């Protein structure tokens, strides 16, 4: 089998920042990791390769530093890595991203299965996987929680739905977006890290993929962030630290006063 895994490098959850003027995410100078949900797609691809044979190709679109994510995927067990990078892709929304990845998947060619995480933690939309499937006219299973069988050029999967699970049979090639239930990502081995460090990656640009420049970056992104607002903390809490009897009394008096002011208890001397 020839399996393509679409991955994304995202900022650490605690490091997510937005540019209030452009409405885009700030990625420079921020620690980045492989999108956690994409790790399950990588593991799924590797397990299928181990069972059915073939190769796993990891593809990502991002800045040059996204090479780190690809090398981690190689260390886990992927066979090849493709980085699509260039200034023309800056500011791409899910529509533009899906277009670029679809063209990249088409350029790889000869694939049997395309895998992706259910969503990316930085955008949380879950739109890119289905978008690529639509552009390539591929059968799609979202929220895939298990692969039941692959036989006679068909794949049977189990997917998570609100009522429980449903089983789908899809002709290959197909695209699956996966959830955590599908696998448990392995850790890269020392040998895998050594191989990944030496292995050459493929670097593609908009020109090498012969992309329509009007569909790239901010220009090709119909999504517009009109305004960014930060939530305001309106409640002001008070912490009373109790270390001895004296501070305990003070804490209880403070609590009693607060409850009285909020009319949650009767004032002293009244019923």
Q: What is the CATH number of the domain that holds 17?
A: 3.40.50.620
**What's the confidence (pLDDT) of residue 267?**
62
Please check the confidence at residue 17 and state whether its pLDDT lies above 80: no
- How many other CB atoms are found less than 10 A from the CB of residue 166? 13
Question: pLDDT tens, 109-164?
Answer: 999 999 999 998 887 888 999 999 999 999 999 999 999 999 989 999 999 999 89
Weakest-pLDDT range from 89-103, 141-155, 176-190, 251-265: 251-265
* Same domain assignment for residues 45 and 154: yes
In the structure encoding, which two tokens stand for residue 168, read together?
């789908």
Please check the confidence at residue 18 and state whether its pLDDT lies above 80: no
* Confidence grade of residue 271 (pLDDT, cut at 50, 70, 90): very low
Average pLDDT (68-74) is 93
| Domain span holding position 149 | 2-215
Please check the confidence at residue 6 and state whether its pLDDT lies above 70: yes
Average pLDDT (232-246) is 83
* Same domain assignment for residues 47 and 145: yes
Identify whether 220 is part of a domain: no
- In angstroms, the CA 179 to CA 264 distance is 46
Question: pLDDT tens, 153-166?
Answer: 999 999 999 989 99
* Confidence grade of residue 92 (pLDDT, cut at 50, 70, 90): confident
Identify whether 51 is part of a domain: yes
Summarize the chain as % helix, strand, coil (round to 5).
35, 25, 40
* Same domain assignment for residues 111 and 36: yes
- How many other CB atoms are found less than 10 A from the CB of residue 49? 18
Sequence-distant (6+) residues with CB within 8 A of 5 are 38, 41, 42, 45, 56, 57, 58, 59, 73, 78, 114, 115, 116
Output the CA–CA distances (angstroms, integers) from residue 213 to 25, 62, 86, 204, 209, in the order listed. Answer: 21, 16, 12, 14, 11
In the structure encoding, which two tokens stand for residue 34, read together?
């492989």
User: Of 167, 190, 215, which residue sits at a domain end?
Assistant: 215
Alpha-carbon dihedral angle through residues 165, 171, 172, 177, given to the nearest 10 degrees: -30
For residue 188, the SS3 value is coil
User: Of 186, 215, 244, which residue sits at a domain end?
Assistant: 215
Helices within 90-157 (DSSP H only): 94-108, 128-136
- In angstroms, the CA 62 to CA 9 distance is 7
Share of the chain above pLDDT 70, in %: 92
* Same domain assignment for residues 195 and 241: no
Question: pLDDT tens, 205-219?
Answer: 988 898 988 899 888
Please check the confidence at residue 27 and state whether its pLDDT lies above 90: no
* Same domain assignment for residues 176 and 89: yes
* Confidence grade of residue 269 (pLDDT, cut at 50, 70, 90): very low
* Same domain assignment for residues 158 and 128: yes
* Same domain assignment for residues 140 and 255: no
Identify whether 64 is part of a domain: yes
* Same domain assignment for residues 243 and 141: no
How many domains in the chain? 2
* Same domain assignment for residues 13 and 57: yes
Average pLDDT (162-176) is 94
User: Of 167, 183, 215, which residue sits at a domain end?
Assistant: 215
* Confidence grade of residue 171 (pLDDT, cut at 50, 70, 90): very high
* Same domain assignment for residues 208 and 97: yes
Strands 80-84 and 55-61: parallel
**Residue of higher predicted confidence among 62 and 225:** 62
Identify whether 186 is part of a domain: yes
* Same domain assignment for residues 183 and 252: no
Beta carbons of 32 and 12 less than 8 angstroms apart: yes
**What's the confidence (pLDDT) of residue 28?**
60
The per-residue pLDDT of the chain, averaged, comes to 88
* Same domain assignment for residues 154 and 257: no
Identify whether 76 is part of a domain: yes
Identify whether 209 is part of a domain: yes
Please check the confidence at residue 76 and state whether its pLDDT lies above 90: yes
- How many other CB atoms are found less than 10 A from the CB of residue 107? 15
Identify whether 224 is part of a domain: no
Identify whether 222 is part of a domain: no
């Amino acid at each position: 089998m020839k399996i393509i895994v679409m991955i994304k490098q995202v900022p650490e959850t605690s490091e997510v920042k937005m540019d209030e003027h452009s409405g885009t995410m700030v990625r420079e100078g921020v620690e980045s990791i492989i999108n956690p949900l994409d790790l399950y797609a990588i593991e799924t691809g590797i397990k299928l390769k181990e069972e059915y044979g073939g190769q796993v190709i990891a593809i990502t679109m991002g800045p040059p530093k996204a090479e780190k994510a690809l090398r981690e995927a190689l260390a886990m067990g992927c066979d090849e890595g493709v980085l699509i990078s260039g200034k023309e892709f800056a500011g791409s929304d899910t529509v533009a991203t899906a277009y670029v990845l679809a063209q990249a998947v088409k350029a790889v060619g000869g694939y049997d299965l395309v895998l992706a995480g259910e969503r990316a933690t930085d955008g949380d939309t879950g739109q890119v996987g289905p978008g690529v499937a639509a552009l390539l006219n591929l059968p799609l299973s979202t929220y895939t929680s298990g692969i039941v069988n692959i036989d006679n050029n068909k794949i049977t999967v189990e997917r998570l739905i609100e009522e429980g699970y449903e089983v789908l049979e899809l002709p290959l090639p197909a695209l699956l977006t996966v959830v955590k239930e599908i696998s448990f990502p392995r850790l890269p081995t020392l040998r895998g890290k050594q191989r990944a460090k030496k292995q050459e990656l493929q670097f593609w640009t908009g020109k090498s993929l012969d992309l329509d420049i009007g569909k790239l970056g901010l220009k090709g992104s119909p999504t517009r962030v009109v305004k960014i607002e930060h939530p305001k903390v309106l409640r002001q809490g008070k912490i009373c630290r109790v270390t001895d009897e004296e501070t305990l009394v003070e804490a209880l008096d403070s609590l009693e006063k607060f409850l009285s002011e909020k009319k949650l208890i009767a004032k002293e001397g009244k019923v």
